[in-house]
């Protein structure tokens, strides 16, 4: 049976440029890029070329890009560095942030929750009121994702960063879900810290970056070596970083025409998926109804009358892979806190996400399988 993969928001296939970079790495000498001999210099050149490619996509200087093992490490490094600089101060976050953001902060500081609206959008006025409070400790850090990883809501990141800059509070933006799908000009954003992940945009697992604003200082999370200009110890994962750089370079080429074209195609495909799902009745978009207010490549669907887990299993048996926020459909024993914070029911929610390899035949396969599975489950329930 041919498979239809519609879980690209979890991870997307490596782009041809990334695969070519892995092959190029295999032809390099086995050397530590920190060494001064010729072999080391060749590997160092490959790492720095990857850094320049990532920086071009993000519109920052290469020296601002600190390579990590992925988005999760970058998030942990941001939380560690900011809280170490302000011991005992609280951290502000919404309940819709990624679990890595919440858990990395909880283990280091008191976590204060900023409210969100029913679409999962951060309440800017509530944040401004908290930052302007004269009494109580000034926050060590504010987290704000660029866009939500489960429902796609685009957050008011520029407003949040501006508020934090005015208040003199460090701000971290988790751009893992957005980078490669939306223009992410970090130079104009001027956030203190931004985390990105390679495998979300067509690189391979094992690579990511923490982008540090010019002039910022932070205590590194991983110590034990002078790599990354002393900001992250440990031998660099050269093949994964080269693949990261190649994928970023493909997206950054020709003034982001590829990213724009992919975003337009993704939005069209998601519209087809929403139309097909809603034709079954009792299905609604969870999060912003306006597609311009969410990521172009994903949508969360609320399905009445049946739980998400049997729908997901039925789709999988029909050859279609999607994701659900229900506890039974993930590694977590708890349902999605993102959906709960929005007042949505995780046990009836499915996330469908397209990617650079998705075709309209994949959308057709989803349409046929979804209606059949949901109709069968509803008839059994009746």
Is the confidence at residue 50, as pLDDT, over 80?
A: yes
- Confirm whether 278 is a catalytic residue: no
pTM: 0.94
Is the confidence at residue 318, as pLDDT, over 70?
A: yes
Determine the pLDDT at residue 73: 98
pLDDT above 70 covers what percent of the chain?
96
Residue corresponding to tokens 């299993």: 313
Determine the pLDDT at residue 136: 72
Q: Per the structure block, which two tokens stand in for 133?
A: 């409070």
Kind plus residue range of the DSSP H or E element containing 219: none
Is the confidence at residue 216, as pLDDT, over 60?
A: yes
Read off the pLDDT of each residue in 195-212 and give the average, rounded to a whole number: 98
Domain ranges of the chain: 4-12+256-381, 16-252
Q: Which of the four pLDDT bands, split at 50, 70 and 90, describes residue 327?
A: very low
Contact, 46 vs 28, CB < 8 A? yes
Determine the pLDDT at residue 343: 82
Is the confidence at residue 135, as pLDDT, over 80?
A: no
**Axis crossing angle, helix 308-317 with helix 360-381, rounded to the nearest 10:** 130
Determine the pLDDT at residue 330: 54
Contact, 285 vs 300, CB < 8 A? yes
Q: Please state the separation of Cα 259 from the chain's center in Å.
A: 16
Question: What CATH number does domain 16-252 carry, 1.25.40.10, 3.40.80.10, 3.40.50.10470, 3.40.640.10?
Answer: 3.40.640.10
Q: How far apart are CA 157 and CA 166, in angstroms?
A: 14
Could you read off the pLDDT of 140-177 as tens digits, one per residue? 999 999 999 999 999 999 999 999 999 999 999 999 99
Q: Reduced to 3 states, what is the DSSP secondary structure of residue 180? A: coil
Determine the pLDDT at residue 382: 67
Q: What φ, ψ does residue 78 adopt, rounded to 5°?
A: -65, -45
Per-chain mean pLDDT for the chain: 94
Per DSSP bridges, beta strands 323-324 and 349-353 are: antiparallel
Question: What CATH number does domain 4-12+256-381 carry, 3.40.720.10, 3.40.190.10, 3.30.1360.20, 3.90.1150.10?
Answer: 3.90.1150.10
Q: Which of the four pLDDT bands, split at 50, 70 and 90, describes residue 326?
A: low
Kind plus residue range of the DSSP H or E element containing 72: helix 71-85
Contact, 278 vs 371, CB < 8 A? no
Read off the pLDDT of each residue in 78-104 and give the average, rounded to a whole number: 95
The order of strands in the sheet holding 65-68 is 65-68, 208-212, 193-197, 171-174, 141-145, 91-94, 111-114
Selected catalytic residue, list 164, 278, 328, 363: 328
Q: What φ, ψ does residue 377 adopt, rounded to 5°?
A: -65, -40
Q: Please, which residues have CB within 8 angstroms of residue 357's CB and are 6 or more apart in sequence? A: 5, 12, 13
């Amino acid at each position: 049976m041919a498979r239809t993969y519609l879980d690209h928001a979890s991870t997307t296939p490596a782009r041809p440029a990334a695969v070519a970079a892995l092959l190029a790495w295999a032809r390099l000498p086995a050397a530590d890029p920190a060494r001064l001999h010729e072999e080391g210099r060749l590997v160092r050149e490959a790492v720095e070329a990857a850094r320049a490619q990532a920086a071009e996509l993000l519109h920052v200087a290469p020296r601002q890009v600190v390579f990590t093992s992925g988005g999760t490490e970058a998030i942990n490094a941001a939380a560690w560095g900011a809280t170490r600089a302000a011991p005992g101060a609280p951290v502000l976050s919404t309940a819709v942030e990624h679990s890595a953001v919440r858990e990395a902060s909880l283990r280091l500081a008191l976590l204060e929750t900023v409210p969100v609206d029913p679409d999962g959008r951060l309440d800017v006025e509530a944040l401004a009121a908290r930052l302007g409070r004269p009494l109580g400790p000034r926050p060590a850090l504010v987290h704000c994702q660029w866009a939500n990883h489960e429902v796609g809501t685009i957050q008011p990141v520029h407003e949040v960063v501006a508020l934090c800059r005015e208040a003199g509070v460090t701000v971290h933006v988790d751009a893992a879900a957005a980078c490669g799908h939306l223009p992410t000009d970090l130079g104009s954003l001027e956030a203190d810290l931004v985390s990105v992940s390679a495998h979300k945009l067509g690189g391979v697992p094992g690579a990511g970056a923490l982008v540090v604003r010019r002039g910022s200082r932070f205590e590194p999370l991983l110590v034990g070596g002078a790599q990354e200009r002393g900001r992250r110890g440990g031998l660099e994962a050269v093949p994964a970083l080269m693949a990261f750089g190649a994928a970023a370079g493909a997206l950054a080429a020709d003034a982001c025409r590829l990213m724009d074209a992919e975003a337009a195609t993704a939005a069209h495909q998601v519209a087809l998926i929403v139309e097909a799902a809603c034709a079954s009745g009792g299905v609604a978009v969870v999060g912003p109804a306006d597609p311009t207010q969410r990521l172009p490549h994903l949508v969360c669907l609320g399905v009445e009358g049946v739980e998400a887990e049997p729908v997901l299993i039925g789709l999988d048996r029909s050859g279609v892979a999607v994701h659900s926020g229900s506890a039974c459909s993930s590694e977590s024993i708890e349902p999605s806190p993102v959906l709960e914070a929005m007042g949505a029911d995780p046990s009836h929610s499915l996330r469908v996400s397209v990617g650079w390899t998705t075709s309209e035949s994949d959308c057709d396969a989803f349409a046929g399988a979804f209606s059949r599975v949901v109709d069968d489950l509803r008839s059994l329930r009746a």
